Amino acid sequence: MKTAIVNLGCILSGDWRAPFVQGDAILMQGDKLAKVGSVADADLEDCDLILDANRVTACPGFIDSHVHIAFGDYTPRQSALGFLQNYLHGGTTTAISACEIHVPGTPHDVEGVKALAVAAKRCWDNLRPGGMRVHGGNVILEPGMEDKDFQELAGKGVWLAKAGFGSVKTPFDYVPLIAAARRAGLITNVHTGGASLSLANSIWGEHLIAMQPDVSFHINGGPIAMPDADFERVIDETRAALQIVQAGNIRTALLVLDLAVKKDCFDRFLIATDTPTGTGVMPQGMIKSIAEMSCLSRHPPEWMIAAATGNPAKIYRLNSGFLHPGRDADVLLIDAPLGGSKRTALDALKNGDVTGALACFTAGVPRYIGRSRCTPPPMRYATVVKNTVINDFPAPPLV
């Protein structure tokens, strides 16, 4: 399938160092981006679908690096069906498993957690709810795991490991487990902050410094934050990515944001949701955090979009997250919400308003064009000017 989006008002790259792409058009061929910025008339002739964007904003689909998936599009924690399809309508095109701890009866023995991770990885490789890409199979670290276990997991395609819900006596017991997982090439993620439902001990700065993980999961607290003095130490004494989540502490999220900018390590700053959890199912979780970090800080909203797209793509070694040729064709169109006081998506975010989503593509396939069912209506709608695929995109409502 070949698709062009023309007449864009703004193209956000997902790269905070160069957040804007000059031009007004995007060309997708197959499941990849072919051109970003300008598209020649000759390119349009054999397109299957051409969308006139009516001057709205394009950005990469969001990568939520903290989603509590189980199996299928169902969350046991909130007994909700179809939540991932709703997250797609909130703008999330990629979900990374926060480990499959919500699967009822989660095992805690070494063979059990390995089998769970392999099964989740294999199942999610075959399933894209609504078109969303889900990276499943985040192995829960348990005492007794050794190098050979992680090498076996890596050989079976598992590339994520999670410290935080295992049967350890103290968080320091995770130090050798994280080291072994990293030796096998797995990306290691550590629960940070106060005790969660199944975790007896808080994980604070000294533990993270001893563990040296790749990612501090919900560094702003999940949902209970560690002491303020620990944030600077974690930034200075580890190289961990600093993941803030919608379900965490908003004051410490802003503290981390300011420190990341001040210490010139914004590449490590990630926006995620940590849902579904007790906080609920939140289709707008990503855009809500993007708006909050934009309106409550002095930093630009295009950086917050990058913290939800290009930054996690780099940390998790994904091919999505950027609007650059050759990257995955995961594109989101957003605009200021109808009825608001601002005229563009970025102005709305700086104002603290969530944007309206009006079209979403994953792997080059249109998943919805018109109104998203999980955001406010946008100020403007895109128009389908050519369509040869068998799909009836509903006309936008008259406004």
Nearer to Zn ion, 26 or 98 (CB): 98
Question: From the CB of 98, what's the least distance to Zn ion, in Å?
Answer: 4
Question: From the CB of 216, what's the least distance to Zn ion, in Å?
Answer: 12
| Stretch touching Zn ion by CB under 5 A, among 90-98, 337-345, 348-356, 375-383 | 90-98
Nearer to Zn ion, 19 or 136 (CB): 136
Distance CA 231, CA 217 (A): 13
Nearer to Zn ion, 24 or 274 (CB): 274
Amino acid at 96: I
Helix boundaries (H) for 228-284: 228-237, 250-262
Amino acid at 246: Q
**Among all chains, which residue has been given the structure tokens 């709703």?**
86
Q: Total binding residues for Zn ion by CB under 5 A?
A: 2
| Stretch touching Zn ion by CB under 5 A, among 77-85, 271-279, 323-331, 383-391 | 271-279
Q: Could you say which DSSP state residue 279 is in?
A: T
Torsions phi, psi for 43 (to 5 deg) = -65, -30
Among 230, 274, 292, 328, binds Zn ion (CB under 5 A): 274
Give the SS3 label for residue 383.
strand
Question: From the CB of 108, what's the least distance to Zn ion, in Å?
Answer: 17
Our finding on whether 47 is near Zn ion (CB under 5 A) is: no
Our finding on whether 335 is near Zn ion (CB under 5 A) is: no
Reference 128, options 319, 309, 310, 367; nearest CA is 367
Question: From the CB of 274, what's the least distance to Zn ion, in Å?
Answer: 4
Give the distance, in angstroms, between the CA of residue 39 and the centroid of all CA atoms in the same chain.
Answer: 28
Distance CA 359, CA 53 (A): 9
Question: From the CB of 222, what's the least distance to Zn ion, in Å?
Answer: 5
Reference 12, options 4, 23, 20; nearest CA is 20
Our finding on whether 98 is near Zn ion (CB under 5 A) is: yes
Nearer to Zn ion, 142 or 274 (CB): 274
| Stretch touching Zn ion by CB under 5 A, among 28-36, 98-106, 319-327, 361-369 | 98-106
Question: From the CB of 141, what's the least distance to Zn ion, in Å?
Answer: 14
Nearer to Zn ion, 230 or 274 (CB): 274
Question: From the CB of 95, what's the least distance to Zn ion, in Å?
Answer: 12
Give the SS3 label for residue 379.
coil
Distance CA 242, CA 331 (A): 25
Which positions ≥6 away from 100 have C-beta within 8 Å? 69, 70, 71, 106, 116, 117, 120, 136, 137, 138, 140
Distance CA 266, CA 245 (A): 16
Question: From the CB of 273, what's the least distance to Zn ion, in Å?
Answer: 9
Site for Zn ion, rule CB under 5 A:
98, 274
